[in-house]
């Protein structure tokens, strides 16, 4: 019985990881973003969005399947690779990871309240408080 429960949970997690993932910014931010800039912001290599706006990136927790999806599709890294990356960055004092939020609702709220807010959500969470952007250079079928 435990085996079947495990399989059921694993299937549910894999289905949620296939959500329609979108990158979102504060609704008042009108510029675009390149894939390279998005990667730099989420890896603490840049602190500005286009137009000099101070970036305020936000992540979901490491165990959230939507974060895993974002990390592989947009950053080109697995969660294991990201954990290793952040361990090195923190240890060497070269950067801190984006703020983590416990839910997509919290991510949406964060992005909507920060002028440079940037994050990612399942498309079903999008409303008029955030704006969807497609990073220039991102190819959906490659992610």
Number of independent structural domains in the chain: 1
Range of the domain at 51: 2-142
Backbone angles phi, psi at 88, to 5 degrees: -65, -45
Residue 12 has pLDDT above 80, yes or no: no
For residues 30-62, one letter each, b for 16 or more C-beta atoms within 10 angstroms of the residue's C-beta and e for the rest, the string is eeebebebbbebbbbeeeebeeebebbbbbbee
| pLDDT tens figures, 37-86 | 999 999 999 999 988 999 999 999 999 999 999 999 999 999 999 999 99
Q: Is 117 in contact with 56 (CB distance < 8 Å)?
A: yes
pLDDT value, residue 137: 87
Cα 47 from Cα 55, distance rounded (Å): 5
In the chain, pLDDT over 90 holds for what percent of residues?
A: 79
Tell me the average pLDDT across 115-142. Answer: 92
Any bridge partners for residue 45, and if so which?
none
């Amino acid at each position: 019985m435990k085996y079947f429960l495990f399989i059921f949970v694993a299937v549910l997690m894999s289905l949620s990881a296939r959500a329609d993932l979108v990158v979102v910014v504060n609704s008042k931010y009108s510029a675009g973003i390149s894939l390279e800039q998005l990667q730099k912001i989420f890896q603490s290599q840049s602190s500005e969005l286009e137009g000099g706006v101070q970036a305020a990136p936000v992540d979901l927790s490491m165990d959230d399947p939507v974060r895993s999806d974002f990390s592989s599709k947009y950053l080109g890294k697995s969660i294991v690779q990201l954990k290793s990356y952040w361990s090195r960055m923190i240890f060497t004092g070269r950067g801190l990871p984006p703020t983590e939020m416990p839910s997509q609702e919290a991510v949406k709220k964060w992005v909507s309240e920060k002028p440079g807010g940037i994050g990612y959500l399942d498309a079903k969470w999008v409303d008029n408080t955030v704006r969807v952007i497609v990073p220039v250079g991102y190819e959906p079928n490659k992610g």
